[in-house]
Structure 1
Amino acid sequence: MEKNSFVYYLDQFNVLSPNHSKIYDEYTSGTEFSEYNFTIKTKVQNQLISYFKQNPQNVILTGNAGDGKTRLCRVVYDELSNKKLNDWPEKGIIDIDFKFGTLRVVKDLSELKDDVILHQLKELQKSMLDKKRKLYFLIAANEGKLTKFISKYDELESLREEIMLRFESHYNNNEQLNLINLLDITSSVYVKEILNNWNREENWESCRQCTKIESCIIFLNHKRLSVDLIKDRILEQYRILDYLDIHITMRELLIHMSFTITGGLLCNDIHEAQYKELAEQSKKVYYENFYGENVKANAFVDMKAVKALRTIDVGVSSQSEVDDFIVNGDISGDEKLEKYHKKLFDEDLDMSYGYFTRKLKRYRDHNGVADNDFIDDWVQRLRRKFYFEAIDEIEINRRLLLPFQHLGQYENLFNNPREKVTVRPKLINGLNRSFTNRLVKPSQSLFATSQNLMIYDEFRGRTLEIKDQEGREDIDFIPSKFKLEISPEVKLQMNLYIFEYLMRVNSGGTHNVLSEEAHILIDTFKNDLLRISEPEEYVLNILRLDRETGLYVDDQIEL
């Protein structure tokens, strides 16, 4: 039986596999799959090496478990000591002599006992105050553990103040202490690099000699995920997570990409599959795996990327234009569409070797009576296939399948002053309607008001600025959101959820759509506006119902 060892390498990322622990940094050295290990050279990695080779300083790496803090510590050790670190010492602390003094690397603060943590943080505090010690620190620490610990001890007050300043803004970093929060890294940056590396032909060469290649869903997934168009669509999905402020760690990303390729299967499963198993394996095509279809419930705990992507699953929303193409595209009368329908829904493994097209014809011939469940069984799956594989030339908007109607406008706002001017009145109208839960007449002014319909102040449109998220050069980062700013103290962070909500409310949509994600931030912004408002002294400004239009308009009552 032919086996591809690369498939077994990918199995290390399967959260239900007994080999799963091997993906952790502590277990990566000298494994049987070392030939497949690859390094994504990140800006953080380059920055750290630059610090300790040219301008030594104390560094704290923070973020979530899986963000790669331990790996970065290993990279720094290897670079400064000119040798590979095979195993971390049991205590998790290692000193490196280098040309500027001694660098103490603490690979994971949360693994240490409290007395050891306290001692090391006191030492860091001393080094920050006295550079003559020539003892520098590189400490990896989960954000929650670090902030909770430093808040408990008065003797760490100086360090606590410095750390909290840096959590507020990376601009507060200096040579005394540099805090790099890996949560700030843009998750989507690494997606294509992983796909490109894992789909290199040399990783799959042995498959070409396999007798089961035509019935292997793993190999089919590899072929599809080697296509630039499909890689771009996967990147688009991850970019949407960026827009929603959802951070996916490097470990979670690797777990998800591995599952997208293999569906949790191994070569043994392919070779031993009988007819029924083969039918089930055909459902483990990449566009189903991507959203965790057919995933065992106990795997979801460790598959955060899948849980996040399910919130934007393109298979669940019915769009007549897309669904009509799926069901009737081959008899549409449009030669181009009919030809493409046949090409897209072909006789490959994910289409059960033409089973879908045969069942579709039977379904139509019998007006759906012969198999009522046929469409329900297939339609979500085929919407996903359409989203990832449909070419733009067929002029059916695949983005209709996304749960966001205004994604294109959101993307167009970046570095686009003209678009910002165009969108601003719509956002103002959305805010006015959201503040009051009423259909307020469109206005050039943002009203500081509440549900009692009193206007405490108004802010002319131009005072509301739409500002791009600031870029960063020290980490892999792409601006992904905006802020609506009246003043530095009064601003609303606007991600895609907020933007979509305001644009829908502007168009007359109901306030309950997306409100859970939006209303807390919008209410805070409204309260900040009320706080800086200066009501007029001798008049009362209100919103009143205009019965002719059915809209609320601003009006004035003399006192």
Structure 2
Amino acid sequence: MAFHDSAWIRFLRQYGPVPTNDNMYDEFIQKAARSKKLSPVSFSAEYLDELIDNFKSDAPISVILTGTAGDGKTYYCRQIWMALGGTEVAWTQKNKIRTLRLSANRDLIVIKDLSEFSAEEAQIFLPQIAACIDRQNTEKVYLIAANDGQLMEKWRDIAATPQISKVRQTIENLLVNEQKEHPDFSLRLYNLSRLPIRRVFPRILDAVLNHEGWQHCEQCPFRQPTTSAQQCPIWENKERLQNDAITRERILQLLELCELNTIHLPIRQLLLLVSNILLGHPNTKEHLMTCKDVAQIIDNGDTAQGSLYRNIFGENLGKRRRQSTEVFVALNRFGIGNETNSNVDNMLIFGQDDPAQEENYQRFVLADTYYGADHSFQSQQKAYLEGTTTDNSEKFLSMLRAQRQRLFFTLTPEAATETKLWSLTVFQYAGDYLEIIEKLRQTGKITSKQSLARLVQGLNRIFTGLLAHEAEHLVLATSGSHSQARVCHVLEEYVSVSKKSGTYVILELDHNERPLLTVSLGKEDGLQVPLHLQLTRFEFLCRVAEGALPSSFSRECYEDILSFKTNLLRQLDYRRKLDDDDPDAELNLNMIYLDNDGDIKESSLEVQFS
């Protein structure tokens, strides 16, 4: 069959992991779209209507758009420019500053990249911007885009005046405190890096999958062939990504876990991910398929190499390209494909002959003839079991890795529970972590001893260095002089998990909807000590609670928790100074030890001073 060349597929490749000038990314995409007479991928951008309404209002205020490279700052500027009557011709001119008349007495000044300013230019223009922000000049209003690191650098590099210092400090405070505006200044600051990925990624995914360009595929003979083996892998990936809610949800869960673990993935990386999921194949130019590649891939029986479940991790790319691409570095930290458990591997390897695994093998492996148990997999499986492989089973083990990846994204919720899905990742407790996040979004906080038990037990084992079972109280202990000693027998305080006289332990969300474990040592302000509960810290505490040694998972996490303990002891000392006006000339030390059941017991030691 002759292939049908689609301009849309060739254009979609431009969003993928191909060499581009990152500083001109938006211009590159726009130029590629015009040359192919296609619309760029477009989706409803957060804040865009709000920004346009601001500049259309009778009293507009200046706006700074910040964030990391690839968060869409240039896209926002261009969309605002066009919505306010600016022309495409004027926008594409190579000017650092663009001016648009908003009204009879006000101009909009657009600076789409503040980092392009030289030191001399910054010295000229930033004082003018400061005057508008400080409401000394109402004839101009600014729209400025700047990467978060370079934004403050430009303001620090110019000569300081009282006005410059005041505006610079305000911008820095807005950034640090993650606030949008200050009532005393005519400025709004939008940090595009703070957009929640659970709102952004589904929009990007739908924008690509519902793009009108897919209509170009309607005449392709590989879209609906007479046999499934001749199905176009690009179309197969598109259909699965569009119609399989489980796959979409699992991808979103991984991306959200990255975000909750303080890894920010900009929009450009998310577009790259979607393009690679659809088009990835290791045996094509730049490892991304075009229509002319499809016939050869099908003839070679090589469609499995284009599996979306592999492409999610950049398996189609060379090692160097994969390790230099943010989104694949982040997703590969989960170790999906390398990590496994006996349930999954027994099904994949022995399912054909094992009556206990036969039903699941039929349902989750044999049923997927395209990316599951195709002829190649079954022949390599047979050779592996019979010990007749000629390559030390390397090819089959590679296929086994790919099947683990596929199962992670396709197992039903019931089967996921049965097979312990998250044990296919480095973060075995990630599923529990997601459940806690969802509960916090619904209720605002978690206070029950049962829900907090595992975290409290993990903290107690680190705080004391003992394999304690205590989960109803947080045990603050030292070695007598050193709070960070590995084993601590001197009891400083029991902190009740349930609220009691101002002491408590709770889980709540901060203003960025990220979980905080907060320990209160009393009713007074300042006695509440928070710990950001990132995914890695959560996993660490859960593993310690289940018996792992504190230093076996993460030295960094161990030190973070000890630092948290030090903060608690510092606040405990502060509380004692508030409570104790007339200390006695004696000291009572409570020593702790474990009984045979792992319960904490106390013995008292009195020290007198002569």
TM over 0.5: yes
Q: Which residue of 1 aligns with 2:422?
A: 399
SS of structure 2 residue aligned to 1:179: strand
- Partner Cα separation in structure 2 for residue 22 and residue 129 of structure 1: 32
Of 509, 519, 525, 1:469 maps to: 509
Q: Structure 1 unaligned segments of length 5 or more: list them.
A: 473-478
- Structure 2 distance, partners of 1:141, 1:432, is 45
Q: Aligned to 2:408, what secondary structure does the other structure show?
A: helix
What does residue range 206-245 of structure 1 map to in structure 2 within 5 Å? 206-211=216-221, 214=230, 216-229=232-245, 230-245=247-262
1:73-472 correspondence to structure 2 within 5 Å: 73-81=77-85, 83-84=87-88, 87-99=91-103, 101-130=106-135, 133-153=138-158, 154-155=160-161, 156-171=164-179, 173-175=181-183, 176=185, 177-200=187-210, 203-211=213-221, 214=230, 216-229=232-245, 230-263=247-280, 264-272=288-296, 278=300, 282-300=304-322, 303-333=325-355, 336-341=359-364, 343-346=366-369, 348=370, 350-351=371-372, 353-364=374-385, 366=386, 372-373=392-393, 375-394=396-415, 395-413=418-436, 414=440, 415-416=442-443, 417=445, 420-449=448-477, 450-452=483-485, 453=488, 454-461=490-497, 462=499, 463-470=503-510
Does residue 8 (structure 1) correspond to residue 2 (structure 2)? The answer is no
Q: Is the 8 A contact 1:429 1:440 kept in 2?
A: yes
Structure 1 stretch 303-312 or stretch 452-461: which is displaced more? 452-461
Conserved in 2, the CA contact under 8 Å of 1:6 and 1:36? no
Please tell me the residue identity of whatever aligns with 2:241.
L
Q: Where do 5+ consecutive residues of structure 2 fail to align?
A: 224-229, 281-287, 478-482
Q: Deviation digits for residues 2-47 of structure 1, max 9, x if unmatched?
A: 2111110111123335799884246515622452413221222122
CA–CA distance in 2 between the matches of 1:232 and 1:27?
28
Change (3 A) 1:248 1:482: same
Task: In structure 1, give the amino acid aligned to 2:516.
Answer: F
CA contact (8 A) 2:42 2:207 kept: no
Alignment partner of 1:527: what SS? helix
Q: Give the whole-Å Cα distance in 1 for the aligned partners of 2:603 and 2:92.
A: 71
The percentage of aligned residue pairs carrying the same residue is 23
Secondary structure, aligned partner of 2:34: coil
- Aligned-partner SS, 2:551: coil
Whole-angstrom distance in 2 between the partners of 1:61 and 1:518: 34
Q: Residues 338, 301 of structure 1: CA spacing in aligned structure 2 closer, same or farther, 3 A cutoff?
A: closer
**Is contact 1:7-1:266 (8 Å) kept?**
yes
Measure, in 2, the Cα distance between the counterparts of 1:118 and 1:201. Answer: 45
Give, in angstroms, the shift of residue 280 of structure 1. Answer: 5.3
CA distance in 1, matches of 2:306, 2:298: 16
Name which one, 1 or 2, has greater alpha-carbon Rg.
Answer: 2
Relative to structure 1, the CA distance from residue 208 to residue 152 in structure 2 (aligned partners, 3 Å threshold; closer, same or farther) is: closer
The two structures have a TM-score, normalised by structure 1, of 0.87
Distance 1:297 1:425, change over 3 A: closer
Tell me how far apart the structure 2 counterparts of residues 372 and 419 of structure 1 sit (CA, whole Å). Answer: 53
Structure 1 497/458 Cα, relative in aligned 2: closer, same or farther at 3 Å?
Answer: same
Moved more, 278-287 or 323-332: 278-287
Q: Evaluate the alpha carbon distance shift between residue 36 and residue 331 of structure 1 in structure 2; reply closer, same or farther with a 3 A threshold.
A: farther
Aligned-residue offset at 1:485:
4.5
SS at match of 1:204: helix
The residue identity in structure 1 corresponding to 2:12 is: L
Kindly indicate whether the alpha-carbon contact (under 8 Å) linking 2:108 and 2:143 is maintained by their aligned counterparts in 1.
Answer: yes
Do the aligned partners of 1:448 and 1:458 also contact (CA within 8 Å) in 2? yes
- TM-score, normalised on structure 2? 0.81
SS where residue 145 of structure 2 aligns? Answer: strand
Distance (Å, rounded) in 2 between the aligned partners of 1:121 and 1:129: 12
CA offsets per residue over residues 188-227 of structure 1, 9 Å max, x none?
4232223323223853344454455526432322222222
Structure 1 match to 2:285 = none
User: CA separation in 2, counterparts of 1:285 and 1:266?
Assistant: 15
Residues 1:482 and 1:386: Cα distance change in structure 2 (over 3 Å): same
The one of 493, 510, 519 aligned to 2:558: 519
Shift of 1:455: 3.9
Please report how far the alpha carbon of residue 542 of structure 1 lies from its aligned counterpart in structure 2 after TM superposition.
Answer: 5.0
Distance 1:31 1:444, change over 3 A: same
Alpha carbons 2:470, 2:600 under 8 Å: kept: no
Q: Which amino acid aligns with 1:39?
A: S
SS at match of 2:550: coil
